[in-house]
Amino acid sequence: MSNFPDWFGRVQPVFERYLDEYRGQDNLLFLQIGAYTGDASEWLCREILTSRSSILVDVDTWQGSDEEAHKRIDFNEVEAYYDERMKPYPRAIKCKARSSDYLIAAEKENFDFIYVDGDHTAAAVIEDAILGWRALKPGGIIAFDDYRWSHPKKDERYKPLPAIDFFINYYVLRENCFIYPVDNLEQVWIKKL
């Protein structure tokens, strides 16, 4: 048990509902942007990516941000906790990098699932969204966390909502996709058809 906040627990039911179709399948490739302590990573490896041929790639800088909650956290300890926690899951690949750098290098239409929960600024979220969509396979799902999260500065440039709305309205809706209903309105899930 860690002393770090568990931000995954509140959204786990959405993961259970929409990722169940992938449970135990072979040759899956999942990407998580923003792994933190590995709460979602561990759950994905234990519950969904159970086939020996399925892989999870976790991309994170493990440096935190200027968010108030991050100022009280030692991210060296977070990373060490993540490393220890993920030892039982050799198919989880840790990539310590900026998500945009990783996604620019990623192959097109490679991932079955992409979870965007890294840098919450609008600029970073739109970059992750567009680059992630390019790397997502047809039939794959991209999910965004913290849709309604608000930075203490109350400035639109520091929150995900305007970026996600822009991505949906001016990018995704021009393509063939399905937007899943999410009860808690904290997340947005989109299937690329």
- Going from N- to C-terminal start, the domains of the chain cover 24-192
Q: Is residue 67 predicted with pLDDT exceeding 80?
A: no
Q: Indicate whether 1 pLDDT > 70.
A: no
Rounded to two decimals, what is the model's pTM?
0.95
Residue 165 identity (one-letter amino acid): D
Options 3.30.1330.90, 3.40.50.620, 3.40.50.150, 3.40.50.1400; CATH of 24-192: 3.40.50.150
Q: Is the pLDDT of residue 174 over 90?
A: no
Has residue 47 got a pLDDT over 90?
yes
